[in-house]
Structure formats: C-alpha cells, structure tokens
Copies of this chain bind each other. A is one copy, B any other.
Amino acid sequence: MIVMKDVYKKYPNGVVAANGINVKIARGEFVYVVGPSGAGKSTFIKMMYREETPTSGSIMINSINLATLRSKRVPYLRRQIGVVFQDFKLLPKLNVYENVAFALEVIEETPKQIRKKVNDVLALVGLTQKARMFPNELSGGEQQRVSIARSIVNSPKVVIADEPTGNLDPDTSWDIMKIFEQINSRGTTIVMATHNKEIVNTIRHRVIVVEGGMITRDEYEGVYGYES
C-alpha cells in the first residue's frame, strides 16, 4: 500500500514539483502516471523510494513511514521496491549479468539462486545473448531492458517504472508490458510513468494525471489524456 498525504516538494532552485499530492495505491494495483514533460511524474516516483524527500507531507510505503524512517533503514525500503530509472542508472564497470545480479547480492541471495534468477530474467527481456556485455556497449533500448530486468529480479512487492518503454520499439514495448502484466497478476503493485498513449489506452488500468505538480485526474480504467 502506498499512501501520500499533502505531499509538497520544492527543489532548492525554487521549482515546486509536487504541490499537495494526496493519493492511495492499494496493494496489487497497476497505475499509470501520465502528464506533460516537466509535470512532476519523476519527482512523484522518486519520493516513493526516497531518492527525493518531500518538503512537507507524509508518505507511507508498505506501512513504512518514510518521514520517520532512519537513514540506516533506507536500503531495506529500497529492496522492497524495484525501480526502472528514467536514465537507467547501470553500473558502468559491471556487465549486464552483474548489473542484474547486484540487486540480488545486496540482499545476500545464494550464488545458485542468483544464477538462476538472473538468467531467467535476462531471457525474459531478451538479453541472454548480451549478458557479458558492458553498459557502454549496449544500445539505448538494451540498457533500458537491463534496468527493467534488475528492477524485477528480486520479486519486489512494488515495481516503479519511470518511462520504461521510452527507448524501446513498439514490439519490445508490448513484450515488456506483458511482463509487467504478468508480475502484476501475481500481486505486485506497479506504478509506471509513461508517455505511451497507445499502451495506456490499450491495456487499461488506473491512470493518474499529474500536471504542474498536482494530480488533476485519477481514473480507474482511464485513458491517456489531459488538458494543457
């Protein structure tokens, strides 16, 4: 369960990227976050895994109160959340396999389990052939798929994806959506910021529209769209 109450975020440069956000996302929901460029979608998402902290307001993730969370405990919060970053955030010195395995190493999974899970998830995103390659040897879409693989490899309770199909061709995008659907059907909460109108309108889910740091529309089975 994700609950935000009166969340307000002002960046040091004065930009208000969240201007009073109130939202509840139940366990197992699939939520699209849409809105124009610069609306505050990424900020909304970053506050969930505490890359950014709100200026005021409270956030609860899986009954963890982020406001009172001691910084020592932040890693344990993050392990419950798989994140696909808008800029991928791959470790440049590790190859594809190691980048994905890293998410399992931090939770001290056994080597055998790591091998199995990483290979499975790489097959899922179609990167088995590129397991030994390094991020700078990958195309944009391949990097994005590594980021996706890493976010789901440890079967987190929540997956947060910031434009996970931005660098993917339509076919691959649909494949990725199938994966998200599948893990969602097994009970994983999914929050996905996206600009992909076709996907939003085809695979219907709850749509949260963010504009100017505020939620201007919040519809179950919604469609892509907002006034601007």
The residue in chain B whose Cβ has the minimal distance to the Cβ of A225 is B170
- Copies of this chain present in the complex amount to 2
Chain A interface residue number, banded: 35 or more
Interface of A is mostly: loop
**Most-contacted residue by chain B among A37, A39, A168, A172 (CB, 10 A):** A37
CA distance A168 to B42 in the complex (A): 13
CA distance A171 to B11 in the complex (A): 26
**Most-contacted residue by chain B among A34, A137, A169, A197 (CB, 10 A):** A169
Contact partner, A37, options B38, B86, B141, B198, Cβ 8 Å: B141
CA distance A35 to B39 in the complex (A): 30
Q: Which residues from chain B contact A41 at a C-beta distance below 8 Å?
A: 139
- Give chain B nearest CB distance to A18 CB in angstroms: 13
Q: Which residues from chain B contact A51 at a C-beta distance below 8 Å?
A: none
Using an 8 Å CB-CB cutoff, how does the interface string of A126-143 with B read, 1 for contact, 0 for none? 000000010001111110
Using an 8 Å CB-CB cutoff, how does the interface string of A86-128 with B read, 1 for contact, 0 for none? 1100000000000000000000000000000000000000000
User: Contact: B137 with A13, CB < 8 Å?
Assistant: yes
- Give chain B nearest CB distance to A55 CB in angstroms: 15
A140-B87, A163-B167 given as contacts; is B195 within 8 A of A145 (CB)? Answer: no
Q: Does A57 contact B (CB under 8 A)?
A: no
16 additional A-B pairs beyond A36-B172, A87-B87, beta carbons within 8 Å, are A13-B133, A34-B169, A37-B142, A37-B145, A37-B167, A37-B168, A37-B172, A42-B139, A86-B167, A87-B140, A141-B195, A166-B166, A167-B195, A170-B195, A173-B195, A197-B198
